[in-house]
Structure 1
Amino acid sequence: MNRERYDRGLKIRKDVLGADYVDAAIQNADDFNRDLQGLVTEYAWGEIWSRPGLARRDRSLLNLAMLTALNRPHELKLHIRGALANGVTKDEIKEVFLQTAIYCGAPAAIDSFRAAKDVFKEMGV
């Protein structure tokens, strides 16, 4: 593990997803999934999310579309929260999901709208 990249990733991950969530994910890791937590923190967050080519806001918009296409509702809810933290508005999230309805299918977009409504309600957005 590259400690500098891991630490950079940990900071970004906490900034986007929230320190409580990230700390719990790492603390609750066990022998089976601890390596995955390290991999995600170091490479997804420390290598990719730290690149200068896209703003965090843009990366969040992309993640919402990709997670819709992949039908990953748990991760989608997490990244909806992250998108809001990165300055994405509720209306912009709606537009992403309308775009995915055309390119990924209505059922995928319907599930994403449903997930977003749950997050907005939980967060009072």
Structure 2
Amino acid sequence: MKDPVFAGGMKVRRAMWGRDGAEGQINAAGDFIWPLQEIVTKYCFGETWTRPKLSRKIRSMITLAMLVAMARPHELSVHVRGAIANGVTKDEIQEILIHAMVYSGIPRGVEAFRAAEATLKDMGLE
């Protein structure tokens, strides 16, 4: 029987990163990484990103700000792609990074801008 929470999580992942981006992670998961992929797909995307009171766009905006605060440029790059898919504009991403930088610290903001710019360039948006 297919787990509906996992299936919902995969639907969100596909919408944000495309079929290859979502299923590539799942298909590449070996025995060691599989529990991580299962938890991320079910708990993060299947149970959290599918909650109805915030749109995916707003969730992406919040996630970007938190990743600046935590100084996680790799994850920020991943979520820039997801944010664009969720309707966040390049200008909105810029404002989120500026706002988060003020509260999180300039070095974290600089790192976030560099990661976001590289991702936007890779996507042909910069």
Aligned equivalents of 1:72 and 1:20: distance in 2? 23
Aligned equivalents of 1:18 and 1:66: distance in 2? 23
Aligned equivalents of 1:24 and 1:17: distance in 2? 10
Aligned equivalents of 1:64 and 1:3: distance in 2? 29
Aligned equivalents of 1:70 and 1:19: distance in 2? 28
Secondary structure in structure 2 of the residue aligned to 1:30: coil
Aligned residue for 1:35? 35
- What is the identity, as a one-letter code, of the residue corresponding to 2:34? R
- What is the identity, as a one-letter code, of the residue corresponding to 1:93? I
* Cα-to-partner distance string for 1:57-103 (whole Å, 9 max, x where unaligned): 00000000011111111111110001111111111001001101110
Secondary structure in structure 2 of the residue aligned to 1:32: coil
Say what the alpha-carbon RMSD is for the aligned residues: 1.0
- What is the identity, as a one-letter code, of the residue corresponding to 1:24? G
Q: Which runs of 4+ in 1 moved over 6 A?
A: none
* Matching of residue 100 in structure 1 with residue 88 in structure 2: no
> Equivalent residues in 2 for 1:1-125 (5 A)?
3-125=3-125
- What is the identity, as a one-letter code, of the residue corresponding to 2:87? G
Q: How many residues align structurally? A: 124
Aligned equivalents of 2:54 and 2:14: distance in 1? 18
Between 16-25 and 31-40, report the one with greater CA deviation: 16-25
Check conservation: 1:17, 1:79, Cα contact below 8 A: no
Check conservation: 1:5, 1:46, Cα contact below 8 A: yes
Aligned equivalents of 2:27 and 2:14: distance in 1? 14
TM-score by length of 1: 0.95
TM-score by length of 2: 0.95
* Cα-to-partner distance string for 1:18-38 (whole Å, 9 max, x where unaligned): 221121111111111101100
Aligned equivalents of 1:17 and 1:104: distance in 2? 27
| Cα offset, 1:49, TM superposition | 0.3
